[in-house]
Amino acid sequence: MNRYIINENYMKLTGRGMYDEDGIYWCSLSGSGFECHYKGNGLNIKLVGDKSAEIPDNDLNWARYALYVDGERKIEGQLDSITRTLTLEGEIDADIKLIKLSECAMSNLGIYPIICDGVITPIPDKKLKLEIIGDSITCGYGVDVNDPNIGFKTATEDFTKAYSYKTAQLLDADVRAFSISGWGIISGYVDSPDKPPLTDQLLPPYYTKLGFSHQKFDDRDGLEPQNINWDFSRYVPDLIVVNLGTNDNSWCTGHEDRYAKYVEEYAKFLNTVHSCNPTSKILCVMGIMLDEIAPYMEKAVEQFREQSCFEQIYTMRFVPHDGSLGYGADWHPSPATHDRAAKALAEKISEIMK
């Protein structure tokens, strides 16, 4: 029998991750996991849950995953137990992909080293590498329901149906996401601008980390994604998409002083992104759910460009959704809206990367 640790020697990793002392590879962010080619008789992949998996009737937060064979989804579910083994039977000679469909804040999942009698080899990298930084829209929040009056569950969140993943498919690109629902640049989502800003839901402080989660990987000290620094040399994107501001707008609307602060902090975050990825082009986008804040995003880009003298930064506005293509949970984009956004974004990226 062969033993394969989940790492770059044997597989292509599809998101940020880390190993614990038992060799378990922990995934936190949407879209994280691995891809490989497997040839052998049967395959078992053992998953382990974080503390959320111990809580019964917790489909609001359980990590959601999918297992693909040659591009076809064969197994999907939520990690509602501490361990679960995904089993493929018979002779296999195929590309295998395990992907975390849900986001980091609610839960994480771990992957044990794979024990098998076959051979695992990595999938080659794509020619184009993308990173997409965003919020719930980037995560695929509520995309599996068609009722805007239904609230959030990780059970209805699917990164593979979001514009972020679909854009990469259209461009035949690798993609990694850094996205958290409800978070922003200067405030998380508030239901009234009369309320104080949610300053504990700001994405920029965590961009240099593995991620953020309300759950620990396990009971060992420090095993939380927000306590683990990320090594940016492990994945160098050709282009980074930044889609942040929808949640900020909930607090900024009607207040020019707040929009000015958004511009200032957005420009600072662009400096962080550029410092961590100095060779990557940057595309800042806005507008799938609203575009009121878009001019301020564009102003922040101009401010950053002037201060940094970095010219390879661009902007784009999406067509805001209006219900004609339906809604997902909590008035989030429907699959058709994500498709439209992915097409527009893929066209813009193609233009930039000529």
Averages of pLDDT over each 10 residues, the chain, 354 residues: 93 93 93 98 96 90 98 97 96 98 97 96 96 98 97 97 98 98 98 97 98 85 86 98 98 98 98 98 96 96 97 98 97 98 98 96
Per-residue pLDDT, 236 = 98
Domain architecture of the chain: domains with CATH = 2-122 (2.60.120.260), 128-352 (3.40.50.1110)
CA–CA gap between residue 210 and residue 204 (Å, rounded): 12
Which secondary structure element, helix H or strand E, spans residue 350, and what is its range? helix 335-352
Closest CA to 190 of 231, 137, 244, 248: 248
Backbone angles phi, psi at 33, to 5 degrees: 155, -145
**pTM of the complete model beyond 0.85:** yes
Contact 58, 5 (CB under 8 A): no
If one counts every other C-beta atom within 10 angstroms of the C-beta of residue 278, the result is 10
| pLDDT of 221 | 58
pLDDT of residue 218: 74
Distance, CA of 341 to CA of 345 (rounded, Å) = 6
- pLDDT for position 20: 87
Residue with tokens 């980037």: 138
R_g of the chain, CA atoms, integer Å: 20
What DSSP string describes 126-162? PSEEEEEEESHHHHTTTTT---TTS---GGG--GGGS
Q: What integer pLDDT is reported at residue 222 of this predicted model?
A: 61
- The pLDDT of residue 219 is 65
Q: Which residue is it, tokens 């992907």?
A: 99
So what's the pLDDT on residue 220? 60
What secondary structure does DSSP assign to 39-96, as a single string? EEEEEEEEEEE-GGGGSTT-TTTS-EEEEEETTEEEEEEE--SSEEEEEEEEEEEEEE
Beta strands in 190-296 (DSSP E): 239-242, 281-286
